Amino acid sequence: MPDEEQRITHCQQCRLSIPEGAQVCTHCQSYQDWRRWFAVSSTVLALLTALISVLSFAVPSFITLLHKPHSDMSAPMISLEGTTIRLLVVNNGDAPGVFVRADTESEYLAPATKIRLRDDQKAIIAPGSNLLMFDVVPLLSGEQSYRNSLEMLMLVEGNKEVPKTDIVFVFGDSDGELRVSRLSLDADKMFELMRANSDRCSAIKEPDFYNGCVGPGELAPDTGPGSTTP
């Protein structure tokens, strides 16, 4: 019985006749199965490599033209311990923000009360998490702070409200928009602040306005206005 005639098909690439079922064309050496999609010549590969190299430089510049970096600061987490404030602020943007200032709005503390940033370099709020440390410096002597702490203790025991006292923090976004956050102090926090400030001032040998341990009316008699002491 004569052999059956072999069936012929066409190459997927060069379209020349090849035996049906052949995996490789005998003319152009190209694969006939799924591997033909990965057959790339050395010339095409070199062009793709050059294109990728050019795009690696061009794409970032193009993105920069379309996107302006911007800071995005979330509401900070603020805690007070004694005379120390810890403030954690997260910048979710891709540009730095800035800490502008901190002051007090109080019916109890003197307007000269300072909220002093410990490290000025921390005033730049870089993208990511940022921990800022502040010192609260009331204009109160050690004795005044101690008396005030007793007053706060009486308010705590009597479950009474303390005169309004807020510590205000102001931050600036990269576009100039200001963000304001507040820390309100209740009687417990005011007691803790007064007692800690009393301890701090008791360890200071030379009270002055910088350390805040010279309270209102606490100037020495020979240095006060109108003094006749030589």
Alpha helices in 77-212 (DSSP H): 142-157, 187-202
Tens-digit pLDDT profile for residues 102-154: 999 998 998 889 999 999 999 999 999 999 999 999 999 999 999 999 999 99
pLDDT at site 230: 42
Question: Do residue 12 and residue 82 come from a single domain?
Answer: no
pLDDT at site 32: 72
- Is the separation of the CB atoms in 28 and 13 below 8 Å? yes
Question: Do residue 96 and residue 183 come from a single domain?
Answer: yes
Question: Do residue 54 and residue 83 come from a single domain?
Answer: no
Question: Do residue 17 and residue 107 come from a single domain?
Answer: no
Number of domains in the chain: 2
Is the residue at 168 inside a domain?
yes
pLDDT at site 84: 97
Question: Do residue 127 and residue 198 come from a single domain?
Answer: yes
pLDDT at site 83: 96
Residues 6+ apart with CB under 8 A from 225: none
Rg (CA), the chain: 37
pLDDT at site 125: 96
In three-state secondary structure terms, 93 is: coil
Intervals of the chain under pLDDT 70: 1-5, 34-42, 44, 62-65, 216-230
Question: Do residue 45 and residue 97 come from a single domain?
Answer: no
Question: Do residue 131 and residue 173 come from a single domain?
Answer: yes
Question: Do residue 18 and residue 131 come from a single domain?
Answer: no
